[in-house]
Amino acid sequence: MFSTVLIANRGEIALRVMRACKELGLRTVAVYSEADRRALHVRYADEAYLIGPPPATESYLQIERIIETAKRAGAEAIHPGYGFLAENADFARACRDAGLIFIGPSPEAMARMGGKVPARNEAIAADVPVVPGTTHPVESAEEVLRLAAEFGYPIAIKASAGGGGRGLKVVNAPDEVPAAYESARREAAAAFKSDEVYVEKYILNPRHIEIQVLADQHGNVLYLGERDCSIQRRHQKLIEESPSPALTPELRTAMGMAAVRLAQRVGYTGAGTLEFLFEDGRFYFLEMNTRIQVEHTVTEQVTGIDLVKWQIRVAQGLPLPWTQEQIELRGHAIECRINAEDPAHAFRPALGTITRYREPHGFGVRVDSGYTEGDTIPQFYDSLIAKLIVWGQDRDEAIARMRRALADFEIDGVHTTIPFHQLVMDTPAFARGEATIRFIGTHVTDADLRALERPIAPAEGNGHASAQVRMFDVEVNGRRFAVRIAGVGLPVLPVNGPAAAQPRGGRRGGSAGAARALDNNAVVSPIQGTIVAIRAQPGMPVEAGQVLFVIEAMKMENEITAPRAGTIAEVLVQERTAVQAGQTLATLR
Ligand code: MV4
């Protein structure tokens, strides 16, 4: 048993965990970085400790500091949220060695399911279907050709150490194999320090369906239905729902039992998620997430089970009080991730201050938020502002309720994904429950996304912005209208300035953005962030559009390109330099 929990995370999930702790009568301890001094999770905790400059709560270097802080605050347990400390077996072990309870699976179970290839082998051993493919590294292009002939094209060459969508090459025909094999190995070596690759049949147009499991320390493992997370962009999920519109009760049971077999085999405890691809009535295990996930909320809404509370209770040694037969799924839940991103411009990060923030309310509406009015979104963390979750008696009611709640959600000062979600809710293929992982790109086109361009309301007291957009309440014949007036004759600028960087490959890819400035010789950063790579040196000739810098903001890498052809005169920043929007990074001649 323990009575004080340190929450080693920030934002909405830190608040989510603290609410569960409070309901269980547990004292809560927050840790925070200098960027989060005013943050909601810091104010909500019983005690809070500054642990350093940002990112702090997201840094491997902070493991010692977090454990020291737990000791100092008298915490006996640590909940990692869904931060990357959550899937770090070393952190779980360090907690154990310090006499602290890590609220999550054992480091041993985590390690067994941590790698993609080991997890695939555990699945095969547990009689859980995986995509046809190899379980050993492939050694030559000839071997890839032999395997492809066996499985049929297209095939995927995957980096053994890859994950989150990195290190996957699709090959459509034999003549593409040699080049793809070499390139997959090179990319794997560069990204993961291991050039080991393996081969799978490529599933062309699947859904992403995952099974939630919950296990106690007494050998009980339950599955709590599934989540359909097919609506994603470049491996960032945007909308999740439960149940999946694609599953029959028979398939749900088969997937759930498969998930339980695998969790049981590796001695899993706590909450975990098994990811599957699903196509044509067949499912294939991909990998396991050994943590609570962002989208756990939709499972909570349809099962009525507070997953975070049960993570804590099983960590205290309590047994799960249900049999599988007692788990009932009721109604339908949908979650929309409200991110500080501009969907009209390749979902680029939208840094800034939230000048107005009003959440939707009412029956079947839940908002798990990490921010409030007046907060500035820091560049160091992900772009999630809030999760909007609705429940309905059936899927149609849930969609109608989501439409209403999205319209009721008022966020000004930064661009958000709300217009994107409204577009999806109005897309017939989504209403019919037909979304696959290709939904964005087929049913929602680039042109549809560009049409979501809109002005954002200005920051209060920001003379520059308020010269362009003003809000008025107007009564016409006694009827009130909220009117947004864009400055006459002035262009309505997006909040990030005239040309923000575009996300690039990696966690989120995209076409490159040119760095434009009034000064024709300056290469200017369109966003605030940290320079992570420099591809320019003095004297180097460059083409217009050539990538010169890579800048990281909100956990996304963005490319900064040359605004014109020329020669680099000076490079004014170094790697790891933090830069402001509008700052000159290099000069051209
Ligand atoms: C696949 C696949 C199709 N066939 N493997 C991408 C992320 C990584 N976790 C696995 N991924 C995929 N593996 C085979 N054999 C398609 C994907 C994939 C994907 C999977 C889940 C959710 C979104 C996705 C988007 C693109 C590709």
pLDDT tens sequence across 8-35: 999 999 999 999 999 999 999 999 998 9
Beta bridge partners of 7: 30, 79
Q: What is the pLDDT, as a whole number, of residue 116?
A: 86
Q: What is the pLDDT, as a whole number, of residue 453?
A: 93
Cβ neighbors of 454 (< 8 A, separation 6 or more) are 344, 419
Q: Is 286 in the pocket of ligand 1 (CB under 6 A)?
A: yes
Alpha carbon of 206 to ligand 1 centroid (Å):
8
- In the predicted model, what is the mean pLDDT of residues 513-526? 71
- Among the atoms of ligand 1, which is closest to the Cα of residue 201? 15
- In the predicted model, what is the mean pLDDT of residues 214-243? 97
Alpha carbon of 90 to ligand 1 centroid (Å):
27
Pocket test for ligand 1, best of 155, 226, 232, 277 (most atoms within 8 A of CB): 277
Q: Is 504 exposed, middle or buried (0-12, 13-18, 19+ CB in 10 A)?
A: buried
Q: Is 168 in the pocket of ligand 1 (CB under 6 A)?
A: yes
Q: Supply the mean pLDDT for the chain.
A: 90
Pocket test for ligand 1, best of 168, 192, 508 (most atoms within 8 A of CB): 168
* Number of C-beta neighbours around residue 163 at 10 A: 16
Domains in the chain (CATH in brackets) are: 4-103 (3.40.50.20), 132-201 (3.30.1490.20), 205-330 (3.30.470.20), 338-454 (3.30.470.20), 512-588 (2.40.50.100)
pLDDT tens digits, 268-324: 999 999 999 999 999 999 999 999 999 999 999 999 999 999 999 999 999 999 999
- Among the atoms of ligand 1, which is closest to the Cα of residue 232? 23
CA nearest to 288, candidates 311, 314, 262, 257: 262
pLDDT tens digits, 130-178: 999 998 899 999 999 999 999 999 999 999 887 766 778 999 999 999 9
Alpha carbon of 497 to ligand 1 centroid (Å):
34
Beta carbons of 339 and 383 less than 8 angstroms apart: yes
pLDDT tens digits, 391-423: 999 999 999 999 999 999 999 999 999 999 999
Alpha carbon of 311 to ligand 1 centroid (Å):
28
Residue 71 CA to residue 57 CA, distance in Å, equals 17
Beta carbons of 324 and 355 less than 8 angstroms apart: no
- Among the atoms of ligand 1, which is closest to the Cα of residue 165? 7
Sheet holding 197-201, edge to edge: 166-171, 155-163, 197-201
pLDDT tens digits, 320-363: 999 999 999 999 999 999 999 999 999 999 989 999 999 999 99
Q: What is the pLDDT, as a whole number, of residue 511?
A: 40
Alpha carbon of 165 to ligand 1 centroid (Å):
7
- In the predicted model, what is the mean pLDDT of residues 39-48? 94
Q: Please, where are the H alpha helices in 176-276?
A: 177-192, 249-265
Residue whose pair of structure tokens reads 């989540």 in the numeric block: 227
Q: Is 232 in the pocket of ligand 1 (CB under 6 A)?
A: yes
Residue whose pair of structure tokens reads 């994904």 in the numeric block: 417
Alpha carbon of 211 to ligand 1 centroid (Å):
16
Q: Is 235 in the pocket of ligand 1 (CB under 6 A)?
A: yes
Alpha carbon of 182 to ligand 1 centroid (Å):
20
pLDDT tens digits, 460-517: 444 343 445 666 767 776 667 767 776 655 444 444 433 444 444 444 444 434 544 4
Residue whose pair of structure tokens reads 């912005």 in the numeric block: 465
Residue 218 CA to residue 262 CA, distance in Å, equals 16
Looking at ligand 1, which residue's alpha carbon is closest to its atom 19?
437
Query: For a pLDDT cut of 70, what percent of the chain falls above it?
Result: 90
Between β-strands 77-79 and 4-7, what pairing exists: parallel, antiparallel or unpaired?
A: parallel
Q: What is the pLDDT, as a whole number, of residue 458?
A: 54
- In the predicted model, what is the mean pLDDT of residues 192-219? 95
Residue 107 CA to residue 436 CA, distance in Å, equals 34
Looking at ligand 1, which residue's alpha carbon is closest to its atom 10?
165
Pocket test for ligand 1, best of 437, 439, 507, 508 (most atoms within 8 A of CB): 437
Q: Is 6 in the pocket of ligand 1 (CB under 6 A)?
A: no
Dig out the tokens for 218 from the structure.
């007494």
Alpha carbon of 257 to ligand 1 centroid (Å):
22
Beta carbons of 538 and 548 less than 8 angstroms apart: no
pLDDT tens digits, 535-583: 999 999 999 989 999 998 888 888 899 989 999 999 999 999 999 888 9
Residue 378 CA to residue 109 CA, distance in Å, equals 34
Which of these ranges, 136-145, 229-238, 436-445, 551-560, has the smallest mean pLDDT? Answer: 551-560
Alpha carbon of 451 to ligand 1 centroid (Å):
28
Alpha carbon of 156 to ligand 1 centroid (Å):
9
Looking at ligand 1, which residue's alpha carbon is closest to its atom 14?
202
CA nearest to 408, candidates 337, 469, 357, 484: 357
Between β-strands 547-553 and 556-561, what pairing exists: parallel, antiparallel or unpaired?
A: antiparallel
Alpha carbon of 167 to ligand 1 centroid (Å):
11
Looking at ligand 1, which residue's alpha carbon is closest to its atom 3?
203
Residue 568 CA to residue 546 CA, distance in Å, equals 12
Q: Please, where are the H alpha helices in 483-525?
A: none
- In the predicted model, what is the mean pLDDT of residues 173-186? 93
Q: What angle do CA 522, 523, 528 make, to 5 degrees?
A: 120
Would the pLDDT of 58 be above 50? yes
Pocket test for ligand 1, best of 160, 205, 210, 235 (most atoms within 8 A of CB): 235
